Amino acid sequence: MKAPYLALAAALVMAAPPAWAHPALVASTPAAGATVSGVRQIELRFSEPLVAKLSSASLVATKMDMGEGMMDHRMGMGGTVRFDPADAKVMRLVFKGPLPAGVYHLDWKAVSTDTHHLKGGFDFTVR
């Protein structure tokens, strides 16, 4: 009698739906909390391929060097979001020139190809 139950249990385990993981940010350049110079783009690398039309990023300057030291100053920095055609796990925010000295906050939203949503953000400093 035990054999049929074992076979049934094994069949149920094998028929279980796959566990879908959520996309995760695995690396960024610049990194969260980093102090860098010459930033012309921000690269975000995720654990899963993204849906480009549903994923985005934006950058805000929170402190800027106004000639008298760093001053609180919130200003959107624009930039163009681009996706790597050879690697759908990579999103870039590209600027026309290097970012000026200041403290920045990046917000991003990622939607993976299995439709899971994730959002986050981090700060970094440009000297």
| Whole-number pLDDT of residue 41 | 98
CA atoms within 13 A on the CB side of 62: 11
pLDDT tens, residue by residue, 4-47: 554 544 444 444 444 456 789 999 999 999 999 999 999 999 99
Specify the pTM: 0.80
Q: Which residues contact 36 (CB under 8 A, 6 or more apart)?
A: 30, 124, 125, 126, 127
Q: Facing residues of 106 across strands?
A: 59, 122
pLDDT tens, residue by residue, 75-124: 889 999 999 999 999 999 999 999 999 999 999 999 999 999 999 999 99
Q: Which amino acid is at 81?
A: V
| Whole-number pLDDT of residue 4 | 56
Across residues 62-84, what is the average pLDDT? 86
| DSSP state letter for 96 | S
CA–CA distances in Å: residue 37 to residues 40, 87, 117, 120: 9, 26, 31, 23
Helical segments of 1-127, H only? 2-14
Domains of the chain, first to last: 22-126 (2.60.40.1220)
| Whole-number pLDDT of residue 13 | 44
Q: Which residues contact 30 (CB under 8 A, 6 or more apart)?
A: 36, 39, 42, 124
| Whole-number pLDDT of residue 73 | 75
Name which of 94, 69, 95, 73 is nearest 83 in CA terms: 94
Q: Locate tokens 């980093």: which residue?
A: 34
